[in-house]
Structure 1
Amino acid sequence: MAKSLVIVESPAKAKTIKNYLGKDFSVEASSGHLIDLPKNKLGVDIENDFKPQYEVIKNKKKYLAKLEKAAKNADKVYLASDPDREGEAIAWHIADQLGIKDKSYRILIHEITEKAIKESINSPTTLSEDKFDAQQARRVLDRLVGYQVSPLLWKKVRRGLSAGRVQSVALRIVVEREREIEKFITKEYWSIEGDFLPINSGDQNPFSANLIRFDSNKVEIGSEQEAANIVNQIKNNDYHVSSVDKKERTRKAQPPFITSTLQQEASRKLRFSVKKTMAIAQKLYEGIELGAVGPMGLITYMRTDSVRISDQALSESRKYIMDKYGNKYLPEKPSLYKVKKLAQDAHEAIRPTSFDFSPDKIKAHLAGDEFELYKLVWQRFLASQMTPIIYDQTSIEIKSEKAAFRTTGSIIKFEGFSKVYIEGKEEDEQNGEDDEKKLPKLSKDQGLSLKDLKMEQHFTQPPPRFSESSLVRELEEKGIGRPSTYSSIISTIQDREYVKRENRKLKPTVLGKSVNDMLIDGFPEILDVKFTADMEDKLDKVEQGSINWVDLLKDFYKVFSQRLLQAEDKMKSLRRDGVPAGIDCNECGAPMIIKWGKRGEFLSCSKYPECKNAKPFNYDEDGNIKVVEKVQPELSDINCDKCGKPMVIRQSRYGKFYGCSGYPGCKNIKRMNKEKPS
């Protein structure tokens, strides 16, 4: 019998850890949470200090029974669930259900390597009541909002919708950006670019510069005519170099990944969704089978908001850089990065667990997407510990009696960390700023020959829609959610059809906009960005032990319960009123409205039930409603054997069949086979 039992939440994690521990240990997995609030009721005793009414999750009883049996035969039980609030709750509930608090120990594993696991077992800690209370407070908060507001949406819009304390704020951010775009008024503007050559230089390759001033005023050109007038006045001017500013500059590497930056970069560079990134990162953390080496965790814990790096990782990475790239690429001191003000700093940055396993070395053991994400983590971390890029930046100003032009060029002198890695950009941020541009050698007062003037038309652009990665960045900057919740927030607003992905951008649907407006009207505080960010801060303080979790819930519910009472009457019914569609009924002429049913949105006459006209629809490329006309079924050459009307050929998910054209008056149907119905 094993003397010690290690309990983790994932079978994959259990398999990896089992590989490192001897016969004195057994390792079992809970397969996630075993205990939770009930699904079929609120499960919170509001009058009794918000006491949660926990129960064993229905399909997890077999796992609990297995753990009970294993724990009875163990002298010590090590609770090794993930080192975050959810992991703490899993550990807490297991200890409580198994009745093993007197022989249980909490171990925090930030990387699944032999060294880290043995160190954690040799220095166990106790369960953190404060961390558990923070998870419990968040769980109860989310249940109070979700289970009491969602039924309002079912009643007033359609069943299956949900509201959430954080997801609804994320939806609000997406909707408000869309409305900024809708209100944006595009303005025309023009730019003028000149091509110049140094006089008497023999150089035949002109360089370009942009017009920045005309008649000593900053250039703001609103029309083609204005641009043409300026060109006519400056095309025959004499030009000279008025200033040359040359500086050596450096650009430092970005910090190693935290959860949000990993999600953003995987979206930009690998086109991964946030959900996919976290699923693959979880596998890399829990362990990958590496042939003769066995299973091994390849990256540190992937839910973190800290850029902190262990001394050992710094030492190992510096040795790797020196051996692989040489002294020029290794800074004198390790690069340390500042942890953000609101970061919990409970875990290290996301980094490789060992520098013995480069991506190329273990590529054969990784699936394609696993390899790409591991390579991204590997390269980003190495780059964070390498020397800066060094480049010369030259800014040249050119003048005549009426005009001033400016151009800037940069030439890389030393590639530094870019030998390994360059950060990606959002598609709407691709502006070419980092491109090298070589300028000729010029000196102050040197004469220049103007070879060409080009006018170009532009239009101001609205702010871009959020992508998944830029929404994560926005949530992080506003203090909404935490590393463990970004993925579920973004998945939920898409799963509920509040937001859809269109060309990799998030666009709110009519349903999303309507639900957003209803929730803001009914629950203004709950949908307030600052209120939600402050609540995240308070949850952090519960974990730190400076706020009592029950007091936090009481303060919240005081406001929320009042809004809940008012919302039943105050919130409008979209189930009844719908949303104006901007088109008229083709049967009675009344306005059509958008409503929602089991199969999604549809057009309905606003005069219903007097007029029962209803039609499916979709949207054209410009977002305008396009009615989908019902396809008339094909007429067959046989008649119904019940009413005599012609039979038509219809299509179901099981295939084609004959149906009476008199439906719904006559519901006769026949299977299509070799014999026609008589």
Structure 2
Amino acid sequence: MAKYLVVVESPAKAKTINKFLGSNYIVKACFGAVRDLPKSSLGVDVDNNFEPKYVAMRDESNRKALKEIKDRAAKVDHILIASDPDREGEAIAWHVAEILKAYKKTADKPTSRIVFNEITKENVRKAVKSPREVDFNLVDAQQARRVIDRLVGYKISPLLGWVVRKGLSAGRVQSVATRMVVDRENEIRAFKPDEYWSIDALLKTPRDDSFTARLHSRNGDSVAVGKPGQIKSQEEAEAIQGALNAAQFKVDTVKRKEVKRRPAPPFITSTLQQDAFGKLGMSTAQTMAIAQQLYQGINIGAEGQVGLITYMRTDSLRLSNEALDSARSYIKKEFGNEMFPEKPNFYKNKKNAQDAHEAIRPTSAFHTPESLAKHLSEDQRKLYMLIWKRFIASQMPPAVLDQTTVDIPVDNLLFRATGSIMKFPGFTKLYKESTDDNQDPEDFNKLLPEINEAEIMALNELKPEQHFTKPPPRYSEASLVRAMEENGIGRPSTYAPTIRTILARMYVEKVSGRLVPTELGEEVNTWLTKNFPDILSIDFTARLEDNLDNVEEGIENWRSLTGDFYVPFDKDLKETERRMVAELVGDDPRCPECNSKAVLKQSWFGMFMGCTKEDCKGVIRMNKTAPEPTDEICDKCNAPMVLRTGRYGKFVACSTYPKCDHVINLDKDGNKLPPKEPPVKTDKECPKCKPGMLLIRKSRKGEEFYGCDKFPKCKYTSPMELNLNCPEENCEGDLDHTRIGRRRAIACSKCEFQAYGNVDKSNPCEKCGNSWTLVKNKTKKKPTTITCPKTSCAHVVEEFEEIEAGAEEAAVK
């Protein structure tokens, strides 16, 4: 019987680790977070030093996993918790330990924490031999973040839903990210293009070789945009051109120098997300999901299941001595001594970088992308190759270029020609950097012909060209991550979840791969910046992130930090509530039933003004926004129709409501949507109420199902027949609906095929062409996904949809 129980977050991680440990160990997954603040209440006792009230997660997978962990823990001698090596992972370890401590059969069992940065046999075995206590500095930093996020989300979201639209939410980081996108859009709208001209001289040397020199300055002033020498009009350009037609182009100086370009450092979370977006077209969420797979372990044949990269949520550029030795050994073996630097390359961390983890790198330099290709999916292979090449290149020598600058003065004008040639390729032999790596976009091999000082060049042609300055580009996912990192907004574990959240809540949308604020996003941002300027301040949010880092380092107390945040926040909150009430019902609202004072209250349905007297149920009706008149006439009663705003946006409704409930739904652009299709009659009796007949109805998501025509008296429903064959190869079975435990599923009548999700016959797999796919609805940790049911394909596409309002969720593990 096993002596040790090892608890990890995911089954994939458990599978990998289980192969590295002997029969004395058993590995079980807890499926992520096991406790959290309750969804139904604030869950933070503000008057008791911000004491959080945690509850066990109610997700079925968590419940089953915890039961199994408790049963196994009762039978072993020691429990080792091996959750991820970061704040969230440390908090999960503490929550698991607390649950086991409260369980009678495991209350006295020793529980320890083990960590490893890479899931390899050597590191895992080393970790189990070096258990430690839970690091409460890390736990407290996570608690501070979670409690502050809950206070922001739970306190502001109801007000936001009351003023703008029901179901909306605010979050400490997501709201600032939305503001950054909105501010960029406002910059673009306010931008006024500035005209400028360039003048190129096409010249020929005495040896009849051609090259181009560009006007660099006039009267000693640069002609660059915004500089005193800028050419602002066609008249100026033509005047310069006319003066040059008969001028002599005599070379003054030819300067040659050797330039070295150092390789980029290995990836951290933000640079990996940026490069994967720029080079592979992967979203930040997709990048992190694939990186998670590579970290948790892949079966690579003879070596079995092994983690291929180090932990992927990091902002440290540090590399272990073992990693450096592995890279240098590979470089010497494969590229020879000329590519083998005398000593390793070291890279300096940015300010406030957490040095708990290494940079993102392969666990072995000798696990080349080519050797692993047959074991990886196409996306896994591409991302692994990017990580592997960047890591190896970071330990190669710099590229060396010969750079030449030629200056040709003509009266008060200076023309300049530049060129460079690769003298030694260095790291570029393996890895080509992009302009996103701050690489000079000028081509390495822009050659100049032989040019000597004092030589006179022949003028072939003068080419003046008009240009206009361009507005700043809209953010892509990659550039928003870079901007968040530069401004200290969020941390490596929160970049991808933040972007996913603002997309899911429809504050931001993608247009041609760029992030654009929606009308809703701009409305929410305007209200938040007006009423909670600190929460929306980039500097304030960055300082708070620094304070959370101080908690992690044991410098600051998490409860004191939360209190320092809450006092001014609560003041802003009360002032906002007072102002909102005054605008709608006056400065001294009174109950219409008993004339007692009425105050702002919150219910399941949102905010309302209620009586303060205990036995009085008086409520003040408040109309936040008056309906707008339209030209539409109701088809049912011929009354005028008005424009209203509901939870899902604007819609046109009959002005006599509730007498007439006729509505016309609108899309996000205000265009009419076609009326909902009426249910289709069938000849099938309702098995529940007998007199009723079944109708074919459509759900809000467009899924067809059987429903009784006596609804709402009879609420019987059942799914439609699938009429689909099993997707497994060499199986001719039929698929039908079933239940596995409490979950809806589909299963084959002949083989063991089973799958969860809703069947979508209108959406074939974009990868293998299978005629139908499975839509898996979003969970707390995952967005809606469209999955191919074929085991041989299993292609997954993420779909963003509106998710539950409330505090910003913890990063996806």
Same fold flag (TM > 0.5): yes
Give 3-state SS (helix, strand or coil) of 1:58's partner.
coil
Give 3-state SS (helix, strand or coil) of 2:15's partner.
helix
Moved more, 159-168 or 10-19: 159-168
- Number of aligned positions between the proteins: 621
Would you say 1:151 and 2:163 are equivalent positions? no
Partner of 2:671: 628
Partner of 2:84: 82
Which of 120, 132, 137 is 1:125 aligned to?
132
**2-structure distance, mates of 1:457, 1:39:** 59
In the TM superposition, what is the alpha-carbon distance from 1:357 to its structure 2 partner?
A: 1.5
Would you say 1:525 and 2:564 are equivalent positions? no
Partner of 1:260: 270
Partner of 1:378: 388
Give 3-state SS (helix, strand or coil) of 2:418's partner.
strand
What amino acid is aligned across from residue 462 of structure 1 in structure 2? P
Contact 2:165 2:649 in 1 (8 A): no
Partner of 2:216: 212
TM-score of the superposed pair, with normalisation by structure 2: 0.72
Matches within 5 A, 1:577-596: 577=625, 596=645
Partner of 1:644: none
Partner of 1:436: 445
Contact 1:197 1:207 in 2 (8 A): yes
What amino acid is aligned across from residue 173 of structure 1 in structure 2? M
Partner of 2:33: 33
Give CA-to-partner distance per residue, 1:576-630, whole Å, 9 cap, x none.
44999xxx95569xxx999753444558999x99xx99773665xxxxxxx6357
Would you say 1:616 and 2:666 are equivalent positions? yes
Give CA-to-partner distance per residue, 1:49-88, whole Å, 9 cap, x none.
1111111111222211111111111111111000101101
Partner of 1:662: none
Matches within 5 A, 1:638-657: none
In the TM superposition, what is the alpha-carbon distance from 1:654 to its structure 2 partner?
A: 7.9
Would you say 1:552 and 2:552 are equivalent positions? no
Partner of 2:508: 499
In the TM superposition, what is the alpha-carbon distance from 1:28 to its structure 2 partner?
A: 0.7
Contact 1:234 1:403 in 2 (8 A): no
Which of 95, 109, 114 is 1:93 aligned to?
95
Which fold has the larger relative contact order, with Cα–Cα distance below 8 Å and residues 6 or more apart in sequence?
1
In the TM superposition, what is the alpha-carbon distance from 1:651 to its structure 2 partner?
A: 11
Give 3-state SS (helix, strand or coil) of 1:172's partner.
helix
Moved more, 496-505 or 208-217: 208-217
**1-structure distance, mates of 2:282, 2:676:** 42
Q: CA, structure 1 residues 593+265, in 2 after alignment: closer, same or farther (shift >3 Å)? A: farther
Contact 1:289 1:296 in 2 (8 A): yes
Would you say 1:477 and 2:486 are equivalent positions? yes
In the TM superposition, what is the alpha-carbon distance from 1:540 to its structure 2 partner?
A: 1.0
Q: CA, structure 1 residues 101+312, in 2 after alignment: closer, same or farther (shift >3 Å)? A: farther
Q: CA, structure 1 residues 630+174, in 2 after alignment: closer, same or farther (shift >3 Å)? A: closer
Give CA-to-partner distance per residue, 1:294-321, whole Å, 9 cap, x none.
1110000001110000001100110000
Which of 406, 413, 421 is 2:423 aligned to?
413
Partner of 1:597: 646
**2-structure distance, mates of 1:257, 1:214:** 43
Moved more, 21-30 or 118-127: 118-127
Contact 2:435 2:441 in 1 (8 A): no
Give CA-to-partner distance per residue, 1:226-263, whole Å, 9 cap, x none.
21221111111111111111101000001101111111
**2-structure distance, mates of 1:605, 1:334:** 74
Give CA-to-partner distance per residue, 1:177-208, whole Å, 9 cap, x none.
11111111112211111100113x2x2x4101
**1-structure distance, mates of 2:66, 2:668:** 48
Which of 179, 191, 195 is 2:186 aligned to?
179
In the TM superposition, what is the alpha-carbon distance from 1:400 to its structure 2 partner?
A: 2.1
Q: CA, structure 1 residues 256+578, in 2 after alignment: closer, same or farther (shift >3 Å)? A: farther
Matches within 5 A, 1:301-450: 301-426=311-436, 432-450=441-459
Question: Any stretches of 5+ residues in structure 2 without a counterpart?
Answer: 102-106, 224-229, 585-621, 634-640, 678-696, 705-813
Partner of 1:66: 68
Q: CA, structure 1 residues 321+44, in 2 after alignment: closer, same or farther (shift >3 Å)? A: same
In the TM superposition, what is the alpha-carbon distance from 1:32 to its structure 2 partner?
A: 0.4
Question: Any stretches of 5+ residues in structure 1 without a counterpart?
Answer: 620-626, 635-649, 656-678
Which of 112, 122, 130 is 1:115 aligned to?
122
Contact 1:234 1:402 in 2 (8 A): no
Q: CA, structure 1 residues 561+109, in 2 after alignment: closer, same or farther (shift >3 Å)? A: same
Would you say 1:538 and 2:587 are equivalent positions? no
Overall identity of the aligned pairs, in %: 48
Q: CA, structure 1 residues 651+300, in 2 after alignment: closer, same or farther (shift >3 Å)? A: closer
Q: CA, structure 1 residues 629+47, in 2 after alignment: closer, same or farther (shift >3 Å)? A: closer
Contact 1:18 1:26 in 2 (8 A): yes
What amino acid is aligned across from residue 411 of structure 1 in structure 2? I
Give CA-to-partner distance per residue, 1:479-501, whole Å, 9 cap, x none.
11111111111111111111111
Partner of 1:669: none
Which of 553, 562, 572 is 2:571 aligned to?
562
**2-structure distance, mates of 1:197, 1:301:** 56
Contact 1:265 1:423 in 2 (8 A): no
Moved more, 434-443 or 387-396: 434-443
Partner of 1:57: 57
Moved more, 10-19 or 205-214: 205-214
What amino acid is aligned across from residue 412 of structure 1 in structure 2? M
Q: CA, structure 1 residues 53+22, in 2 after alignment: closer, same or farther (shift >3 Å)? A: same
Choose between structure 1 and 2: higher helix proportion: 1
Contact 2:664 2:672 in 1 (8 A): no
**2-structure distance, mates of 1:404, 1:355:** 50
Contact 1:603 1:617 in 2 (8 A): no
Q: CA, structure 1 residues 563+217, in 2 after alignment: closer, same or farther (shift >3 Å)? A: closer
